[in-house]
Amino acid sequence: MSKAFGSKYSIENSEEAKEYFEFVKDLLDNDVVNEMKNYRHHYSTTCYQHCLNVSYYNYLVCRKLGLNSKSAARAGMLHDLFLYDWRNREKKKGEKPHGMNHPKVALNNAKQHFELGRREEDMIVKHMWPLTLRFPKYAESYVIVCVDKYTAALEIGTHIGRLMREKAKSLKLKQH
């Protein structure tokens, strides 16, 4: 939890982290949010770690752009609050694929447990745009669209890099 993927710095020890943690502390301490630790998301990354990555980078980008960084941090932490393993979940008849459906599930779960503003709702439900078809309404929503894809690429790249290092190591052992 101490580091967002791709970051050189521990989240807890950076200067902007103090404000970030003020914005999301209640979410990080919440049992429902912590339940995301039980679900694998992108290979070896849990849903919780992915949401933490998105939340932190979303906060940083929106802060730099002068946008609502508090809403960005909070929506980032809740954007994938779907609470199931999408690989093993049986799709209901007529249900859209996970990529198109989970933003609504996450929004419904988030609304059950937290008070959300319109901006946060828009970020959560539209973070998979253009898959979700409806255009984001706020600048912060476009940021989360990009940040979500960026962090997913980092997480997948980290996993592939680990596999490649393991393969190279096993090949070296076979040669000796």
pLDDT band at 112 (very low <50, low <70, confident <90, very high): very high
The 3 state secondary structure assigned to 45-109 is EEHHHHHHHHHHHHHHHHHHCCCCHHHHHHHHHHCCCCCCCCCCCCCCCCCCCHHHHHHHHHHHH
- Higher per-residue confidence, 138 vs 174: 138
Rounded Cα distance between 135 and 20, Å, is 27
Q: Mind listing the pLDDT tens digit for each residue in 149-162?
A: 999 888 887 767 67
Residues 129-148 have a mean pLDDT of 94
Rounded Cα distance between 14 and 37, Å, is 24
Q: Mind listing the pLDDT tens digit for each residue in 47-103?
A: 999 999 999 999 999 999 999 999 999 999 999 998 877 667 677 777 675 557 789
In this predicted structure, what is the pLDDT of residue 1? 38
In this predicted structure, what is the pLDDT of residue 99? 59
Lowest-confidence pick of 97-106, 114-123, 162-171: 162-171
In this predicted structure, what is the pLDDT of residue 21? 93
CATH topology of domain 11-86+96-175: Hypothetical protein af1432 (1.10.3210)
For residue 169, give the H/E element and its range.
helix 139-175
Taken as a whole, the chain contains a residue count of: 176
Check: CB of residue 48 under 8 Å from CB of residue 33. Answer: yes
In this predicted structure, what is the pLDDT of residue 7? 53
Dihedral Cα 131, 134, 138, 142, nearest 10 deg? 20
In this predicted structure, what is the pLDDT of residue 131? 85
Domain positions in the chain are: 11-86+96-175
Residues 136-163 have a mean pLDDT of 88
Rounded Cα distance between 85 and 36, Å, is 10
- Higher per-residue confidence, 132 vs 33: 33
